[in-house]
């Protein structure tokens, strides 16, 4: 990330799908260094990740309701998950 603006995402809430490994895990790890509050999600059971099947509309609705209640809004989405 750019060292000139280390907290450019301060106070922002960002959802990262497919965050259990690979590129999603890298994003979920990097965004907090920019100040973001990251909600890491994955279809697999993984430490630090909330369960989310990106192909299931009900999962999205439940997550959206929980995030609205907890944070008021979501500022960004890294849609990294790959649907089968």
pTM for the full predicted model:
0.89
Query: Can you tell me the distance from the alpha carbon of 23 to that of 82, in angstroms, rounded to the nearest whole number?
Result: 11
Place 1 in a pLDDT band, splitting at 50, 70 and 90: very low
Place 3 in a pLDDT band, splitting at 50, 70 and 90: low
- pLDDT tens for 61-83 read 999 999 999 999 999 999 999 87
Query: Can you tell me the distance from the alpha carbon of 58 to that of 35, in angstroms, rounded to the nearest whole number?
Result: 29
- pLDDT tens for 6-34 read 788 999 999 999 999 999 999 999 999 99
DSSP characters over the chain: --TTSTTTTTT-EEEEESTTSHHHHHHHHHGGGGT-EEEEEESS--TT-EE--TT-HHHHHHHHHHHHHHHS---EEEE-----
């Amino acid at each position: 990330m750019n060292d000139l603006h280390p907290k450019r995402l301060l106070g922002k809430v960002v959802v990262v799908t497919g965050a259990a490994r690979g590129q999603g895990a890298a994003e979920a790890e990097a965004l907090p260094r920019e100040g973001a509050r990251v909600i890491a999600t994955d279809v697999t059971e993984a430490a630090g990740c909330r369960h989310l099947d990106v192909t299931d509309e009900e999962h999205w609705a439940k997550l959206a309701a929980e995030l609205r209640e907890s944070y008021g809004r979501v500022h960004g989405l890294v849609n990294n998950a790959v649907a089968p």
